[in-house]
Amino acid sequence: DTGVSQDPRHKITKRGQNVTFRCDPISEHNRLYWYRQTLGQGPEFLTYFQNEAQLEKSRLLSDRFSAERPKGSFSTLEIQRTEQGDSAMYLCASTLGSGANVLTFGAGSRLTVL
């Protein structure tokens, strides 16, 4: 068990470009979450998967954001036509769908939009 892995760890892009982040959760975890964290703030919920089904999306998630978890394992978060306001740390977390579940976080993917 290598924990939750996120890639890339850092991404610098120009405004208007598309970016994609990948998250590999802990292998037996069926629930996967994406959060965004800006400086001095707590993690802000973006979306949540149970297996391959996307069960909830934040109203903050504009139509430029899309997330997938095609086989119920890894997940991708794509941001199209990036804006400077998208600069943030994008966090992935996973958990097992039973009991008093604890989220296990990855180290995050930092996005800087120039």
Q: Using CB under 8 A, which of 63, 71, 84, 102 touches other proteins?
A: 102
What DSSP character marks residue 14?
A: -
CB of 60 to other proteins, least distance (A): 13
Residue type at 22 in one-letter notation: R
Closest CA to 22 of 96, 76, 91: 76
Q: Using CB under 8 A, which of 25, 32, 65, 108 touches other proteins?
A: 108
**Burial class for 87, CB neighbours closer than 10 Å (0-12, 13-18, 19+):** middle
CB of 81 to other proteins, least distance (A): 27
* Extended beta strands in 27-68, E state: 31-37, 44-50, 53-57, 65-68
Does position 103 interact with other proteins (CB under 8 A)? The reply is yes
- Interface positions, 14-53, toward other proteins (CB under 8 A): 31, 33, 35, 40-45, 48, 50
Question: 67 - beta bridge partners?
Answer: 77
Does position 112 interact with other proteins (CB under 8 A)? The reply is no
Residue 34 or 65 with smaller CB distance to other proteins? 34
Which residues bind to other proteins, rule: CB under 8 A? 31, 33, 35, 40-45, 48, 50, 55-56, 91, 93, 95, 97, 100-108
